[in-house]
Amino acid sequence: MKATIALSAAAALAAKASAACFSQRLDYPCCSGNEVVYTDNDGKWGVENGNWCGIADAPAQATCWSLSQGYPCCSSSNAEVWYTDASGKWGVENGDWCGIPTGSTGGSTGGGNVTPSNEQYTISGNPFKGVEFYINPYYVEEVDGAIAQMSDSSLIAKAEKMKTYSNAIWLDTIKNMQSWLESNLQGAQTQHQSSGKDILTVFVVYDLPGRDCHALASNGELLANDGDLARYKSEYIDVIEGHLKTYKSQPVVLIVEPDSLANLVTNLESTPACADSEKYYLEGHAYLIKKLGVLPHVAMYLDIGHAFWLGWDDNREKAGKVYAKVISSGSPGNVRGFTDNVSNYTPWEDPTLSRGPDTEWNPCPDEKRYLEAISKDFKSAGIKSVYFVSDSSRNGKKVDRKHPGEWCNQTGVGVGARPQASPVSGMDYLDAFYWIKPLGESDGTSDESAARFDGYCGHETAMKPAPEAGQWFQKHFEQGIKNANPPL
């Protein structure tokens, strides 16, 4: 690492990074013991003297690669990553750089010190076919934390199986993208070197200005204005492009901006925030398709909501026009297809439902019928590449919701079909079932006093108490693996 890198940033971050454990930067003390009561994205929590406290990670080994370069080791193997170069991952402690030991199992871990291959992978056809799926190390760590809170041996066995399946990695902030994109591209290359197989990694691109305009629980960091659109382009999409160009030897799938375009189909007139965001959704998609859709090892899928969002005839017809316009605006970039049911619970097949009053006369009351219908609509709208990836992470069992529009932390959840390519005979346009929303990560908080509280998370069939969106929800995870269909 070069000394010319400005340490002014390190000084500014020193107070945060030099904490003895992660919770001090969140204004909570460190625990004196190690009994885990709760786990979220920040770390493991205990309770002492009636107050939450953070459980520190075990100290890193006394030696690491950075010593040879004149820098100390970070005090924790899970230290926050502030910079990555050819040597490894760097943290900041006491106003100085420190090296994070290789072999860390933290959320930003991936492949360690990996030299990018000069080989160019080119996707031809279904990107999920003929490849091995990348195992997300952050999710493995989350499940390990969940297992630590279990005592039922049969439940533990089911949770252990969850660690063997692939799911998507969400790049939901600029910081998370900086921490997780390159490290997991490196991890995929390492997995390739170990298995000798091509490794597919799936990322969710999710940081549009004015994100999730019709919901509160998952609003993003960037606002619907010109300045934040410029940040989205330069600090987010351009950085993603740079890393994807560097790590070009393995296939990558990008799930693009869930809920955004579906909101443009149905919510422009009813939701002022969506009207305010329209310009930025359209410009953001055009920019990312132009930048990322020309990379031969990358396949992109635009989100199309779910059966009880765009399933009605008039919505599907309007969607065809919106999506055709968006794809055209990104030329010469290519879009492989579309993804449905992301973070939702709609069953793949539900023979108990039909077009009638119970479904508000929706002709597509499950995801299978939805894709069958919308594939025809999109082709009629002039869209040339119409393929689908269906999120099956939480639709294995029909949930308890009383209205199909209920979307937040639904009770009765069950993990669904396992990730697999070409899963349904006779549906050659269905590229894959895949776990896009990781089971166990909350849809949104049930705390009515929280700034991001959404009323849907307080409804009768929403499990409570629930943490903020993206944080670990132990009870929901346990119910999901108990109700898995097929069983784990």
Is residue 345 classed as helix, strand or coil in its secondary structure? coil
Q: What average pLDDT does range 63-67 have in this prediction?
A: 64
Residue 251 is inside which H or E element, if any? none
- 13-59 tens-digit pLDDT: 332 233 346 776 666 787 777 777 677 767 787 777 767 777 876 44
* pLDDT value at 145 more than 50: yes
Q: Please choose, from the candidates 299, 183, 285, 294, the residue with its C-alpha nearest in 3D space to the C-alpha of residue 232.
A: 285
Cα(477)–Cα(439) distance, integer angstroms: 6
Range name among 17-26, 276-285, 378-387 with the lowest pLDDT average:
17-26
How many degrees, rounded to 5, is the angle at CA 170 between CA 165 and CA 173? Answer: 160
Question: Which two three-digit tokens encode residue 143?
Answer: 């499940």
Share of the chain above pLDDT 70, in %: 87
DSSP class of residue 336 equals -
pLDDT at 401: 87
Cα-only R_g, the chain = 22
Give tens-digit pLDDT for 281-315.
999 999 999 999 999 999 999 999 999 999 999 99
Identify whether the C-beta of residue 217 lies closer than 8 Å to the C-beta of residue 265: no
Q: How far apart are CA 66 and CA 89, in angstroms?
A: 9
Q: Which tokens go with 71?
A: 């820098």
- pLDDT at residue 70 greater than cutoff 90: no
Q: Is the pLDDT of residue 232 over 90?
A: yes
Residue 2 has pLDDT above 60, yes or no: no
Distance CA 23, CA 29 (A): 6
In the DSSP assignment, the letter for residue 33 is S
Three-state DSSP state, 318? helix
pLDDT at 318 over 50: yes
| pLDDT over 70 (residue 91) | yes
**345 falls in which pLDDT band (50, 70, 90)?**
very high
- Catalytic residue IDs: 212, 259, 443
Q: Residue 358 above 90 pLDDT?
A: no
Q: Is 397 within 8 Å of 413 (Cβ atoms)?
A: yes
Express as a percent the part of the chain with pLDDT over 90.
69
How would you classify residue 212: left for phi > 0, otherwise alpha for psi between -120 and 50, otherwise beta? left
